[in-house]
Structure 1
Amino acid sequence: MTFWPTDADPGHLEQTLARLSPRWTTWTLLTLQRHDHLRLSELGRALPWISGTALSQQMPRLQHHGLVDRTGRGQYQVTDTARQLAPVYQALSAWESTRFPTDQPTAKAERIETALARLRPRDTTTVLHFLAQHPRTSFTELQQRIGRPGSAYARLQRMQTDALLTRTGHGQYELTETGAALGPVYEALNTWSANRTTAAAPVHITAPIVQETVSARATAALRRTTTAAQGLFSHAPTPESAVPAAWTSASRPLRTR
């Protein structure tokens, strides 16, 4: 079986995923990192499929989690903590593209967000971590791990739909190859979380994140340029295009999970 960080705390890993997995977090952080620093309006032009309202509501959350700083000039930039996410993003992108291949060109940032969306639901990491240590487990045992009897079946069913686990003929659950292959992802998450050096700033968030329709995002995404320099984390020469080609070449945000 693929190596799994057995010493990791699944509850802590779920909290880490909760910070990284909200929609558009990856797109925002990678765009800010590439451009060094941007005003909110400039960030909006670089990511035209995200509404200005959604971006303005997202930035305080990213500040609160120590991923983004706001300069005295009203510009945003990623923190050192966010820059250290490179191994996590590489592991997520590799897992998603290998385990869920598609004929459509898909941006790396979008693959990362889709992978995070598969792992985001509550108790997913707890169940996967337990199955990694106990290869075949009954529904009753997993139900006890989840601790919410009424939702256990639905949660396990969703993980089966995402091909993370399967149910054997004896009514037991086990990891699929896709689920087992998450070892490097969780190892990277565990390492990043342990090495976080930027403290979260106390920011009061007053408004919920706006949910946008897929069609509106897709229409805007189709209008963007794809002539930027290659490289997921590289800095492009001037003049720069709105969005890095390595993330977005011939691709667009596909869906919201």
Structure 2
Amino acid sequence: MNPHDQLAEPTPAMTTADAARVENALRQLAPKWTTHFVHTIAKYGPELRVRDVAHHHPAINQPYVSKRLAAMADARLVNRDATFDRWAPYRLSSGARTLGPLYRAVAQWSSEHLDRPPQGRSDRIEDALRRLHLVDTTEVVRLLSEHGSMRVGHLGERIGVSEQLIATRLNHMQADGLVARTGSRHGAPYILTDAGRALAPVYAAVQQWDHRHSAAPAVRMPAAARTLATGADTARTAAALRRSPAPTGLFSHAPATQPRVPAAVTAASRPSHGR
């Protein structure tokens, strides 16, 4: 048998610690203009000064561009040598240069599963990352993927937050098209929408990128203390990421049976475009 015809080994199901790592990585990539600036430096670089980046984005002023690039440097997405030149140009880190597979997975998920996403590729990616990076979103998706449906109180117990807090987060996820309630009565369980169930390739791409560019252990931390700890990037890991397709079996456990949701309820859970 041709080895290429053999089925790939199933990807282990995502754990709570994995969900925390994914969430931390998404939080570094989600701030507005981050994707735009990565694409701008990649297209017009390899190095650009603040004023050069601002030139390509006339809708925002130069001080704001400088502030966002400094935040991106703290996240190790860009770097510069400003020891002798405070106007030194920024260049993409090796981690940022390997964001292509992650961005492609996010853009494809957005195009296929979100209701009327923005048309521009960078805008579409940033819109999707905005929906996915909020605290505990990844863990909610993981739990609903595993259990099929769960009530607010049960989700709060499993995640370790109050019922009121998790209810607020679920409202955001419902507005963003990731979850839906199975009925209109108070306490009705939540399930994943089609968009939520299709997130496995996105999370796999985030994990692959993070594992190659972060030295942080996969440990779940309190929400207030969650940060992304990144380590030194290498050419070898960057090349490996380019060669490795993102697996689609992240939720490798047997899919839980999904309750039927009335059409009116599903329609109400579509993404909000005003936020």
**TM-score in terms of structure 1 length:** 0.71
Task: Please state how far the C-alpha of 1:100 moved relative to its aligned partner.
Answer: 2.4
**Contact 1:163-1:178 at 8 Å conserved across structures:** yes
Q: Which string of whole-angstrom CA distances, capped at 9 and with x for unpartnered residues, describes residues 208-231 of structure 1?
A: xxxxxxxxxxxxxxxxxxxxxxxx
**TM-superposition CA deviations, 1:78-113 (whole Å, max 9, x none):** 0110011111100111111112253x9711000000
Could you report, residue by residue, the CA deviation over 1:190-245 in whole angstroms, capped at 9, with x for unpaired residues? Answer: 11000116637xxxxxxxxxxxxxxxxxxxxxxxxxxxxxxxxxxxxxxxxxxxxx
Shift in alpha-carbon separation, 1:105–1:6, aligned structure 2, 3 A: closer
Tell me, yes or no, if structure 1 residue 132 matches structure 2 residue 142: no
How many Å apart are 1:50 and its aligned residue?
Answer: 2.1
Residue equivalent to 1:168: 182
Structure with more relative contact order (C-alpha pairs < 8 Å, separation 6 or more):
1
State the TM-score, normalized to the length of structure 2: 0.67
**SS of structure 1 residue aligned to 2:13:** coil
Unpaired runs of 5+ residues, structure 1, are 201-254
2:27 to 18, 29, 54: 18
Q: 1:159 to 1:105 in 2, by over 3 A?
A: closer
Contact kept? 1:143, 1:152, Cα under 8 Å: yes
**Separation in 2, partners of 1:88, 1:11:** 17
Q: Secondary structure at the match of 1:114?
A: helix
In the other structure, the counterpart of 2:48 is 38
SS of residue in 1 equivalent to 2:90: strand
In the aligned structure 1, how far is the partner of 2:141 from the partner of 2:11? 10
Gaps of 5+ in 2: 1-9, 215-229, 233-272
Aligned to 2:170: 156
Identity %: 32
Partner residue, 1:120: 133
- 2:121 maps to which residue? 108
Pair 1:25–1:5, CA change in 2 (3 A): farther
Which residue of structure 2 lines up, in the alignment, with residue 199 of structure 1?
Answer: 231
| Paired amino acid for 1:30 | H
Separation (CA, whole Å) in 2 of partners of 1:46 and 1:56: 13
Query: Corresponding residue for 2:98?
Result: 84
Deviation of 1:60 (Å): 1.8
- Picking from 171, 194, 199, the partner of 1:177 is 194
The CA deviation at 1:5 is 6.3
Name the SS for the 1:137 alignment partner: coil
CA distance change for structure 1 residues 80 and 256 in 2, over 3 Å: closer, same or farther?
farther
- What are the superposed Cα offsets for residues 136-175 of structure 1, whole Å, 9 maximum, x if unpaired? 2122111121513331211111211222111113822111
Distance 1:147 1:181 in 2: 26
Q: Distance in 1 between matches of 2:148 and 2:42?
A: 40
Give RMSD over aligned pairs: 2.3
Please tell me whether the aligned partners of residues 4 and 186 of structure 1 are also in contact (alpha carbons under 8 angstroms): no
- For 1:235, the equivalent position in structure 2 comes to none
Say whether the 8 Å CA contact 2:153–2:163 is kept in structure 1. Answer: no
Identify the residue that residue 51 of structure 1 maps to in structure 2. 61
Taking the aligned partners of 2:68 and 2:118, their CA distance within structure 1 comes to 27
1:40 CA drift (Å)? 0.7
| Separation (CA, whole Å) in 1 of partners of 2:172 and 2:147 | 20
Q: Across the two proteins, how many residue pairs are aligned to each other?
A: 200
User: Secondary structure of the residue that 2:213 maps to in structure 1?
Assistant: coil
